[in-house]
Amino acid sequence: MTGATTHILRASLKARVYRDIEIEAKSSLYALAETITNAFKFDFDHAFGFFSRLTGNLFESPVRYELFADSDASGKSHSVKRTTVARAFPRVGSKMLFLFDYGDEWRFQVEVTGLREAAPDAFYPRVIATAGKAPRQYSVSEDEV
């Protein structure tokens, strides 16, 4: 691969509820987070992070990238705006947990399923496959019923 490359990532909420996304390798994790939330028709209006631990206490992950890393005095988190997809997901099979909305805790497992050369006439990022119905981001309140 000599030109621009893309990553194909599967963002899964459950085994049969996922979106496959193709994004340029040089894109930021911030762009990936926005693409994932858009693919599930969620509002992109909450804090989020990518964590190397897939279960348990995510905030003890040895590697983590968070929205507010620039203001993290402990220095344990890296920036989602300055980190590329290629750096966080270096090879096929790389996985991280994308936690969106620290209150409601939407947990997406994100895994690299493929790498390829970018098509010269394609627009990225793009959703290339879907499975399952996306859940509602917000539950219906009693006032709406």
CA atoms of 98 and 112, how far apart (whole Å): 13
Give the angle subtended at the CA of 112 by the CAs of 107 and 113, to the nearest 5°: 120
pLDDT at position 72, please? Answer: 62
pLDDT at 68: 82
CATH topology of domain 5-133: 3.10.290
Reported confidence tier of residue 44, pLDDT bands at 50, 70, 90: very high
pLDDT for residue 99 is more than 90? yes
At 51, list the tokens: 């964590």
Helix (H) or strand (E) holding 36: helix 29-39
1 band by pLDDT with thresholds 50, 70 and 90: very low
Q: What is the mean pLDDT of residues 75-95?
A: 94
Q: How far apart are CA 134 and CA 39, in angstroms?
A: 9
Least confident of 62-76, 97-111, 122-136: 62-76
pLDDT, position 143: 54
Looking at the predicted structure, is the pLDDT value of residue 120 above 60? yes
For range 109-135, the mean pLDDT: 95
Residue 96 pLDDT exceeds 90? yes
